[in-house]
Chain A
Amino acid sequence: MNVGVSASTSRRYTALIVLGVCAFAVSCAGPRATTGPRVIVLGFDGLDFGLTRDLMAQGRLPNFSKVATQGMFAPLGTSLPAQSPVAWSTFITGRDPGVHGIFDFIERDPKTLVPYLSTTRTVPGRHNLPVGPWRFPLTAGRVELLRHGVAFWEDLEAHGIPSTIIRMPANFPPSGKAARELSGMGTPDILGTYGTFSIYTSDPALVGQSPSGGAVLSVDDSSGVVHAHFDGPNQPFLRTPQAMHLDFAVAVDGTRQFAKLQVGNATRVLRVGEWSDWVPLRFDVSPLQTLSAECRVLVKELTPYFVMYVSPLNLDPLAPAEPISTPSDYAAQLAKATGRYYTQGMPDDTKALKAGLLTVDEFLAQSRIAFEENRRQFRYTLDRFDGGFLFYYFGDADQVSHMLWRTLDPGHPAYQAAIDAPRAGVIPGIYTDFDAIVGEALQHLRPDDLIVILSDHGFASWRRAFNLNTWLKTEGYLVEASHTSADETGVIGDIDLKRSRAYGLGMNGLYVNLKGREAYGIVAPADRDALLTEISRRLLQTKDPATGAAAIAHVYRREEVYSSAGYDDLAPDLIVGYAKGTRVSDDSPLGVVGPEVLTDNRSAWSGDHEMDPPSVPGILLSNRRLTTAPATLQNLAGTILQQMGIRGFPH
């Protein structure tokens, strides 16, 4: 990882020290409440209010209905924008993005205009000792969580209530301020990405492809044995970056349709179409150090061509190279008790399906594996939950809904009746799985216990794609880079920032190219207000030629919707609320200018939520009537803490 590269030792030692200090602090936090009422909060990412309501009405979610009868069921207002890192950070802190500093999946540094994933940052070691081709870090690098503000579990702990926070998004590295934590969405693979899959193949039709979020690697299977290697992160001790490799071999028996994988000391017999269990991997970092990882493998074909899918190389939960739990050995404890598991924050391989390199059925099988791992851990955690507060997260409804929402929308541009109609029950099936999860939790409840079930946002069919940068160019606010010069200074994607007044970056963000703030700013601060007013008005007037309807439902101005707590320069000037059914195009978030503003979304990624927040509410279920006012993610944690007798949150 560039992140994790440093993967190895020095950072790990730092993490261990930090986590050790935190564990000590927790152990010294005073008497623990283990006998009072307990609170269980289940976070189901992306559970849609409308679909949940309909399934409850059909009697298909009996445990949800039971809870609702005891307390409440209501739509839950999501965050602005309706993106999971933003939404969960809002829930965690009870504050808006202006305070927690997470404005989008993707943000940019105004001084360098380099985009980055919003929740974490890697800080390299400060001093290196160069010796020949080597460099030896003298101080450790680290990964920083960029979410600011006070997490609600800090107040719980301060009141002596032990908290267990499992897979909370936007909590990597874990805060170290709960009794037990396992990091979730935001946790990278060993390359430092949110998940990079690999396809090893001899199929000439696949070789040469460059799928987004993955790699296709050519292999020779003519001898009956495929020799190849896994790509690891860069060697942390080399001055010139060079990826570490781990060799493997696959002996192919095309007649009997199985293969034998040999990597290090691990051997796996792989049948075509069957997912392997976790394969442990060890990269040699130095003669005395190794980097542990793990992967799952699917042999897709052996004849006429060799095609093998390899999952993103996950951090090894038994020896994670990055801090992923509190205490630091908790991740390993879970693995020893329930088996190895996906440590990657978003395990469902949507990218491989989107690229057509996993079939729908292969994707669903992989998603089910991740769900079952999580369910085993949930049962283990629930069985040992003897007091305090438990938050537990499930993410697969969100990921599968992204990929299969069209199965619920025959009007979707990518809908294919033969493929999609038979799968119309897949997403409702996940909802019924969650109903069973709720049922298991209810069995553990005592009379005074509180259970809360929430989702961070809902879902909608994503039919139309809006390229915000193309729109800005069409309207005369953005100048497209010519890409004819070797000097690309001031160019981000296709945008010539030396001549553009505004640009789109991230999923919902629109930035004014403001002088004094942006590296190549050309808009005087005195002109910002008028420019924002004009752009907002013209965005709201934009009609989709395919439907005649407005493409944009609302445009929000930063200073009108966010608090100001020191992160204004990171925030978009405008947050675009796309009309339900429309989302920013795939390519606009990194600065690509396309030929058309609005196009049909023909991608397998057919459902989304990055639309105007009121159109995609989440759900709130509880066995108590928590509030009579419209519930929002932002006020929910404070409401729950009040139920526990704790006031003063949020801070």
Chain B
Amino acid sequence: MFRGGLKLDKALVARAKRYADLAGYSSVEEFIGYLVEKELAKLEGSDSEEEIKKKLKGLGYIS
């Protein structure tokens, strides 16, 4: 999948492969895809700076 478009450090891939096997993923590609998706979900689900400020200002303590 990413082999054609992405370069990853060999040692990193080796570590990922070890844990992919341990965790029962069918391939290192599937494992890395899962990790990327997880991080993206965090970013996509996070608030904009303005939304964060709005939430914090709801405290009343700050303005």
Binding site for B on A (CB under 8 A): 2, 105-106, 114-117, 122-128, 141, 188-189, 191-196, 212-213, 312, 346, 350-351, 354, 399, 402, 507, 586-587, 589-590, 603, 605, 610
Bound CA–CA A589/B56 (angstroms): 10
Binding site for A on B (CB under 8 A): 37-38, 41-42, 44-47, 49, 51-63
Is A212's CB under 8 angstroms from B45's CB?
no
Bound CA–CA A253/B1 (angstroms): 67
Bound CA–CA A587/B53 (angstroms): 11
B residues in contact with A507, CB < 8 Å? 61-62
Q: How far is the CB of A82 from chain B (nearest CB, A)?
A: 12
Is B41's CB under 8 angstroms from A212's CB?
no
Contact of B41 among A124, A590, A605 (CB under 8 A): A124
Is B63's CB under 8 angstroms from A114's CB?
no
Is A192's CB under 8 angstroms from B60's CB?
no
B residues in contact with A212, CB < 8 Å? 57, 62-63
Contact of B55 among A124, A128, A193 (CB under 8 A): A193
What are 5 A-to-B residue pairs whose CB atoms are below 8 Å?
A114-B46, A188-B58, A212-B63, A213-B54, A351-B57
Q: How far is the CB of B28 from chain A (nearest CB, A)?
A: 20
- Chain A: which residue is nearest B34 at the CB level? A126
Q: Contacts A124-B41, A126-B41 known; A589 to B62 CB distance under 8 Å?
A: yes
Is A194's CB under 8 angstroms from B59's CB?
yes
Is A105's CB under 8 angstroms from B52's CB?
no
B residues in contact with A589, CB < 8 Å? 56, 61-62
Is A122's CB under 8 angstroms from B61's CB?
no
Is A126's CB under 8 angstroms from B58's CB?
no
Give the one of B41, B44, B61, B63 with max A CB within 10 A: B61
Q: Contacts A122-B45, A213-B57 known; A354 to B63 CB distance under 8 Å?
A: yes
B residues in contact with A590, CB < 8 Å? 53, 56, 62
Q: How far is the CB of B44 from chain A (nearest CB, A)?
A: 7
A residues in contact with B56, CB < 8 Å? 106, 115-117, 589-590
Bound CA–CA A350/B58 (angstroms): 9
- Chain B: which residue is nearest A6 at the CB level? B45
A residues in contact with B45, CB < 8 Å? 2, 122-125, 141
A residues in contact with B53, CB < 8 Å? 590
Contact of B52 among A114, A123, A125, A188 (CB under 8 A): A114
A residues in contact with B49, CB < 8 Å? 114
Bound CA–CA A351/B51 (angstroms): 17
B residues in contact with A126, CB < 8 Å? 37-38, 41
Consensus secondary structure, chain A interface:
loop
B residues in contact with A194, CB < 8 Å? 55, 58-60
Bound CA–CA A399/B47 (angstroms): 27
Bound CA–CA A191/B47 (angstroms): 12
Q: Contacts A124-B41, A125-B41 known; A196 to B61 CB distance under 8 Å?
A: no
B residues in contact with A351, CB < 8 Å? 57-58, 60
B residues in contact with A350, CB < 8 Å? 60
- Chain B: which residue is nearest A605 at the CB level? B60
- Chain A: which residue is nearest B59 at the CB level? A194
- Chain B: which residue is nearest A355 at the CB level? B63
Q: How far is the CB of A340 from chain B (nearest CB, A)?
A: 21
Q: How far is the CB of B37 from chain A (nearest CB, A)?
A: 7
Contact of B58 among A114, A128, A213 (CB under 8 A): A213
B residues in contact with A116, CB < 8 Å? 52, 56
Bound CA–CA A312/B49 (angstroms): 21
Bound CA–CA A189/B45 (angstroms): 18
Bound CA–CA A546/B21 (angstroms): 67
Q: Contacts A124-B41, A587-B63 known; A196 to B52 CB distance under 8 Å?
A: no
A residues in contact with B52, CB < 8 Å? 114-116
A sample of 12 more A-B contacts (CB under 8 A), given A116-B56, A126-B37, A351-B58, is A105-B59, A106-B62, A114-B46, A117-B59, A123-B45, A212-B62, A507-B62, A586-B61, A587-B63, A590-B53, A590-B56, A590-B62
Q: How far is the CB of A84 from chain B (nearest CB, A)?
A: 10
By Cβ-Cβ distance, the 3 closest A-B pairs, closest first, are A124-B45, A194-B58, A193-B58
Q: How far is the CB of B13 from chain A (nearest CB, A)?
A: 23
A residues in contact with B41, CB < 8 Å? 124-128
Is B47's CB under 8 angstroms from A587's CB?
no
Q: Contacts A124-B42, A507-B61, A605-B60 known; A193 to B54 CB distance under 8 Å?
A: yes
- Chain B: which residue is nearest A114 at the CB level? B52
Bound CA–CA A124/B56 (angstroms): 19
Bound CA–CA A399/B61 (angstroms): 10
Bound CA–CA A122/B63 (angstroms): 23
Bound CA–CA A312/B58 (angstroms): 10
Bound CA–CA A225/B44 (angstroms): 40
Give the one of A193, A586, A610 with max B CB within 10 A: A193
A residues in contact with B47, CB < 8 Å? 2
A residues in contact with B61, CB < 8 Å? 105, 507, 586, 589, 605, 610
B residues in contact with A191, CB < 8 Å? 54
- Chain A: which residue is nearest B38 at the CB level? A126
Is B37's CB under 8 angstroms from A196's CB?
no
Q: Contacts A124-B41, A586-B63 known; A2 to B51 CB distance under 8 Å?
A: yes
Bound CA–CA A117/B58 (angstroms): 10
B residues in contact with A402, CB < 8 Å? 60
Q: How far is the CB of B63 from chain A (nearest CB, A)?
A: 4
Give the one of B44, B45, B56, B60 with max A CB within 10 A: B60
B residues in contact with A346, CB < 8 Å? 59-60
Bound CA–CA A115/B48 (angstroms): 11
Q: How far is the CB of A19 from chain B (nearest CB, A)?
A: 23
- Chain B: which residue is nearest A189 at the CB level? B58
